[in-house]
């Protein structure tokens, strides 16, 4: 798993904003940790593993994301089918299917309870798969948005 680690300047910014740096994975914590005990500070971690196991109904955990999303693509549209296949490959190589399962669950729950959510914003609107799931309402194929903007 590729973990983004905080830099020394990130840590300084957190401290200046009166936020805790405990639990934040840093690039290099050895120097800090050498003096942490003598200063009565908690040692910092240099590696942290995040779980992708979400507390969602079993049906969603077992959901075949590829099959689910492919079923949402208009059948006569080769361009959209190709876009979905390309995006699914990107999601697969980044091991993000569990995130898609979670998003499908969240959207289904919001629909079930008639909750309103935004039209979409930021780089997520570049994903046609997220559009199909219902995360946002921007057709990224129609507006020729590059998926790489979302998955940077």
In this predicted model, what pLDDT tens digit does every residue of 74-87 receive, in sequence order?
Answer: 989 999 999 999 99
Which has more confidence, 2 or 118?
A: 118
95 vs 110: CA distance, rounded Å: 25
Task: Give the domain-ending residue among 9, 34, 50.
Answer: 50
7 and 74 in a single domain? The answer is no
Looking at the chain, the whole-number percentage of residues with pLDDT higher than 90 is 53
φ, ψ for residue 7, nearest 5 deg:
-95, 175
Looking at the chain, the whole-number percentage of residues with pLDDT higher than 70 is 91
Q: For residue 51, name the pLDDT band (cuts at 50, 70, 90).
A: low
Q: For residue 47, name the pLDDT band (cuts at 50, 70, 90).
A: low
Instruction: Say yes or no to pLDDT of 128 above 50.
Output: yes
| Domain extent at residue 140 | 58-149
Q: What DSSP state is assigned to residue 124?
A: G
By CB atoms closer than 10 A (0-12, 13-18, 19+), residue 5 is middle
86 and 67 in a single domain? The answer is yes
Mark out the alpha helices in 17-71 (DSSP H runs): 30-36, 58-61, 65-70
Q: Output the CA torsion sign for 93, 96, 98, 103.
A: negative
40 and 94 in a single domain? The answer is no
103 vs 7: CA distance, rounded Å: 30
19 and 77 in a single domain? The answer is no
Give Cα separations from 123 to 25, 75, 78, 138 (angstroms). Answer: 25, 26, 24, 11
63 and 128 in a single domain? The answer is yes
Identify the three-state secondary structure at position 6. Answer: strand
Q: Please give the tally of structural domains in the chain.
A: 2
68 and 101 in a single domain? The answer is yes
């Amino acid at each position: 798993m590729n973990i983004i680690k905080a830099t020394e300047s990130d840590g300084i910014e957190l401290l200046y904003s009166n936020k805790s740096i405990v639990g934040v994975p840093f690039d290099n914590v050895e120097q800090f940790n050498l003096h942490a005990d003598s200063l009565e500070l908690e040692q910092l971690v240099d590696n942290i593993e995040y779980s992708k196991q979400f507390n969602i109904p079993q049906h969603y955990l077992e959901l075949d994301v590829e099959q689910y999303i492919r079923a949402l693509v208009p059948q006569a549209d080769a361009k959209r089918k190709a876009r979905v296949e390309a995006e699914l490959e990107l999601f697969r190589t980044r091991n993000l299917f569990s995130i898609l399962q979670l998003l499908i669950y969240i959207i289904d729950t919001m629909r079930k309870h008639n909750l309103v959510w935004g039209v979409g914003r930021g780089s997520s609107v570049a994903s046609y798969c997220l559009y199909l799931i219902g995360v946002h309402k921007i057709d990224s194929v129609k507006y020729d948005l590059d998926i790489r903007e979302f998955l940077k």
